[in-house]
Amino acid sequence: MTDTSMAPPETGIRTFDYGSDEAQARVKRRYKTEARFKLYGLLAVLFAGAFVFVLLADIVRKGMPAFFEHRVVLTLDLDASLIDPTGRREIDVLRNADYNKIVMDAWRANFPEVTQRAERRRLEALVSSGAADDLRAAVIRDPALIGQKVRFPVLLSDDADLHFKGLSTRISAVAGAGALDVKVNGREVELNGSGQPFAAILADVKAGLMQDAERVGAELARLPASQQGGNNAALDARRIELTQKVAELRRRAGDAGSAETIDFSAMPSRIIRAEGAAIRLQEIGPGSAKGFLLVAPQREIARLESWTVATFATPESNRKASDADISWLETLNARGAIEKAFATRFFSSGDSREPELAGIRGALIGSALTLLVTLIVCLPLGVGAAVYLEEFAPKNRFTDILEVNINNLAAVPSIVFGLLGLAMFLNFFGLPRSAPLVGGLVLALLVLPTIIIASRAALKAVPPSIKEAALGVGASHQQAIFHHVLPLAMPGIMTGTIIGMAHALGETAPLLMIGMVAFIVDIPQAITDPGTVLPVQIYLWSDLPEVAFQAKTAGAILVLLGFLFVMNGAAILLRRRFERRW
């Protein structure tokens, strides 16, 4: 057959017309399938891209509030007799002084009308319990402040902070119509005006009642129909109750002129604002209304020429910040005492039960210590194992089994490694619970297969000619590998290691098993201190009921994502920078 002198057989080769219609159609079909495949690919990429975008946008939107906090700037009287009665500026005395009293005195001074015990509690709850600690730190840092009156930003509580982040209720304010006569009796207020000044508000209230009637009606319609011959007393009672409720709401809504009493558990609150005062309406008629003075006016008032009515859309019992809370905060905001600032606290403090005080520093340090342990254990062990298996180990059944098992280890669920860590490191070796040391060891087990596989691939990618060259000038096998092959494989090994570390940084499940899921306020100082890591912190926060922790959760996710991006970016950069083609 290879003999070229032989003539081609007469009938052996068929002629084929590539210009025929059939052939043309085939070409067209080929182009079409190719275009279709490209389109599928593009659609898949766009689809995935859209998901990533939505995810990121959502996390950023939810997480951004965590990076800001609201504070009220108060003038604090740092009375020397309170802080340092001896005048010797001893650190213990300074540390143990009652800073909370200083802060609270200044805070309560804003609203002298608040005297009742329960109301005072509410007012005090708007300031964070951490505010006194801030003041203590400031005084210890600069004892010269003692005896002065200083303007000091006092951290607000999470509920107050959420209000300013727009997460309490929707507030709409409209100007009131007509002048009002005001009769103040203690905190009770009576408002009267000619020409029905409250007609619009009353109509609004009635419209709300009508909506309620419709909602209850819809609920009634959803109730299952009474069964033939069935005897479901509870269901029937409910049906009767709802029917009566609808009728009652319809009657109240239809009777345009009648006065309404606001039910704060189900209806939006309405607050009259004028002259620095805030009056919550309790009973509204077309021409007169009764209310409660939440915030006292700056001067005695008998008649209001201009006023606004603010509607808090969410009924009071459905939100954390009460009408009084919001009125106090808004009053201070109107006075310009509220400031918004970057929350350095988020990065500088450990975990806390108070959302406004909680930060990720403990988790960050914990993650750093854990990863350090992981790296120290993993890198030499992984690279050593890879070099041995790739270059020195005899190729036999045993090493084959070893290889298969290493590859399989990479696919073992991570929680299994956690169980192993619990059984080995905690129970058998008796290492401390919740410690980054144990976390690092467990994560090292998890990452080891990744590093071994990546390192072996990198070693395999070094052309054998380099090793032969070294052997050819009289280098031993080990010298050839350690002088030439390993350095050339290092960028690949580093890339694999960084990706493995990024994997370890994001790992949660195995750490739950070894107790790193505990609530730990102190920032770990050593690898044997109890600590937690960033993803576990996220897991913990996501479980908490306080709304403010939602933002903290998203904020911590952003930080974690940031680190992951940086690590993966470093891996890509390393690969680009040192990638070698032979």
188 Cβ contact partners less than 8 Å away, ≥ 6 residues apart: 290, 291, 292, 293
399: contact with other proteins by CB under 8 A: no
Query: What amino acid occupies position 375?
Result: L
CB of 574 to other proteins, least distance (A): 17
- Closer residue to other proteins, CB minimum distance, 162 or 481: 481
509: contact with other proteins by CB under 8 A: no
Residue of the chain from 85, 384, 472, 562 that contacts other proteins (CB under 8 A): 472
Which 3 state secondary structure label does DSSP give 266? coil
CB of 50 to other proteins, least distance (A): 43
Binding mask 473-492 for other proteins (x = CB under 8 A): xxxxx-x---xx---x----
Q: CA 102, 362, 368: angle at the middle one, nearest 5? A: 150
User: Which stretch in 222-230, 326-334, 460-468, 498-506 sits in contact with other proteins by CB under 8 A?
Assistant: 460-468
**Residue 78 DSSP label:** -
Binding mask 405-444 for other proteins (x = CB under 8 A): ----------------------------------------
Residue of the chain from 468, 566, 573, 579 that contacts other proteins (CB under 8 A): 468
470: contact with other proteins by CB under 8 A: yes
- Closer residue to other proteins, CB minimum distance, 238 or 484: 484
CB of 469 to other proteins, least distance (A): 5
By CB under 8 A, the count of residues binding other proteins is: 21
- Closer residue to other proteins, CB minimum distance, 469 or 572: 469
CB of 37 to other proteins, least distance (A): 38
- Closer residue to other proteins, CB minimum distance, 466 or 512: 466
- Closer residue to other proteins, CB minimum distance, 394 or 545: 394
Using the Cα atoms of residue 406, residue 412, residue 414 and residue 420 in order, give the sign of their dihedral. negative
1: contact with other proteins by CB under 8 A: no
CB of 401 to other proteins, least distance (A): 18
Q: Do residues 342 and 68 touch, judged by C-beta distance below 8 A?
A: yes
577: contact with other proteins by CB under 8 A: no
Which 3 state secondary structure label does DSSP give 482? helix
162: contact with other proteins by CB under 8 A: no
- Rounded to an integer, what distance in angstroms lies between the CA atom of residue 244 and that of residue 236? 12
Give the count of beta carbons closer than 10 Å to the beta carbon of residue 223. 12
- The burial of 381, by beta-carbon neighbours within 10 Å (0-12 exposed, 13-18 middle, 19 or more buried), is given as middle
β-pairing verdict for 303-304 and 288-295 = unpaired
CB of 166 to other proteins, least distance (A): 60
- Rounded to an integer, what distance in angstroms lies between the CA atom of residue 74 and that of residue 135? 12
CA 273 to chain CA centroid, Å, is 35
Residue of the chain from 48, 404, 469, 526 that contacts other proteins (CB under 8 A): 469
465: contact with other proteins by CB under 8 A: yes
Give me the DSSP letters along 287-302.
SEEEEEEEE--SS--S
20: contact with other proteins by CB under 8 A: no
CB of 399 to other proteins, least distance (A): 12
Record the tokens describing residue 316, joined without a space. 């009071």
Query: What amino acid occupies position 236?
Result: D
112: contact with other proteins by CB under 8 A: no
Residue of the chain from 140, 179, 471, 564 that contacts other proteins (CB under 8 A): 471
Q: Do residues 459 and 392 touch, judged by C-beta distance below 8 A?
A: no
- Closer residue to other proteins, CB minimum distance, 171 or 466: 466
- Closer residue to other proteins, CB minimum distance, 18 or 582: 582
What residue ranges in 127-229 does DSSP mark as E strands? 149-155, 171-175, 180-185, 188-192
The neighbouring-strand residues paired with 303 are 181
Which 3 state secondary structure label does DSSP give 458? helix
Region of residue 89 (phi > 0: left; psi between -120 and 50: alpha; otherwise: beta): left
Query: What amino acid occupies position 174?
Result: V
Interacting residue ranges for other proteins, rule: CB under 8 A = 394-395, 463, 465-477, 479, 483-484, 488, 580
